[in-house]
Amino acid sequence: MQMNHSEAGSRTAARRTMVDLLAEARSRAVRVALFGELLHRPDPDGRETTAERDNHLAVLIDTVAWIERTAQLVTSGRDPWDKFPEPLCAWLVGFVAQKPDLPDYLTRMAQVSRRVATAAEAGSKDLGPALRDHYEVRRRGYMTALTDFCDIVWAEIDQQRDSELDRAEKAMTATRGALTRMEKISTHVRLVAINAAIEANKLGDQGRGIAFIAAEFKALAEELQVLSSDAQKNMAGAQR
């Protein structure tokens, strides 16, 4: 199925948005560590309010949910938040075979991040050990795995985009050529119809049948010219 520039661009944009989601999982992991530390260590100046700590906890919990969503997307091929359609999720998961360790890294990060959030919310002594484990998961391959995976997908997106745009350009060129040919044929048919009408007029009553047919062909030729012109304008608009 051929697509125009707009359709190809829309598909590429959707894919890039999804890859950006994976790329953001790196900064989200750092955010878990940051807000976990803020909740683990008391404010040295003693000025931190309960409201501020509650806000830190809310950000932490929200960030952990976001990481869990990303892990589920990669492992199951479905967005638990239903923001991305299944075909788009399947497209992303198709690249996991090139980085088979990624689902495990994301799953481990989601688990240890949830442990940090649970300990922080309960005020548990496990928060310190949880943060250390979180650091180890982040340091031992998590960041590298995500970066490598995103590089693979971004390269493929660029290649597919160029290929799709090239096919769309060739299709539009062929269609434009066909429309130009149609305009020439309709112009020729119109001229033939006019000449036939002139000859039919010379025949008087005997030429009425020919005159009627000539008028129909002239009307058809004019309609084809209008349709061809409109199609050319629509194609020009689709390229913007």
Q: Per-residue pLDDT tens for 94-140? A: 888 888 899 999 999 999 999 999 999 999 999 999 999 999 999 89
Stretch 22-50: mean pLDDT, rounded?
88
Model confidence at 14, pLDDT cuts 50, 70, 90, reads: confident
Is pTM beyond 0.85? Reply is no
Q: What is the mean pLDDT of the chain?
A: 81
Of 136, 169, 202, which marks where a domain is finished? 169
Residue 216 shares a structural domain with residue 108: no
Stretch 29-56: mean pLDDT, rounded?
88
Residue 99 shares a structural domain with residue 217: no
pLDDT over 90 (residue 234) = no
- What distance lies between CA 36 and its chain's CA centroid? 33
Model confidence at 2, pLDDT cuts 50, 70, 90, reads: very low
Q: CA nearest 134: which of 101, 112, 107?
A: 112
Model confidence at 163, pLDDT cuts 50, 70, 90, reads: low
- What distance lies between CA 159 and its chain's CA centroid? 15
Q: What is the model's pLDDT at position 6?
A: 55
Residue 60 shares a structural domain with residue 34: yes
Residue 12 shares a structural domain with residue 119: yes
Given a contact cutoff of 8 angstroms between Cβ atoms, the answer to whether 31 and 131 are in contact is: no
Lowest mean pLDDT among 19-23, 81-85, 197-201: 197-201
Residue 54 shares a structural domain with residue 163: yes
Which CATH number belongs to the domain containing residue 24 in this structure? 1.20.120
Stretch 75-90: mean pLDDT, rounded?
91
Domain enclosing residue 132, as ranges: 5-169
Q: What is the model's pLDDT at position 169?
A: 64
Q: What is the model's pLDDT at position 3?
A: 44
Q: CA nearest 73: which of 61, 59, 84, 58?
A: 84
Helix (H, G, I), strand (E, B) or coil at 182: helix
Residue 24 shares a structural domain with residue 86: yes
CA atoms within a 13 Å half-sphere pointing along the CA-CB vector of 63 = 26
Q: What is the model's pLDDT at position 198?
A: 77
Segments of 1-71 assigned E as strands? none
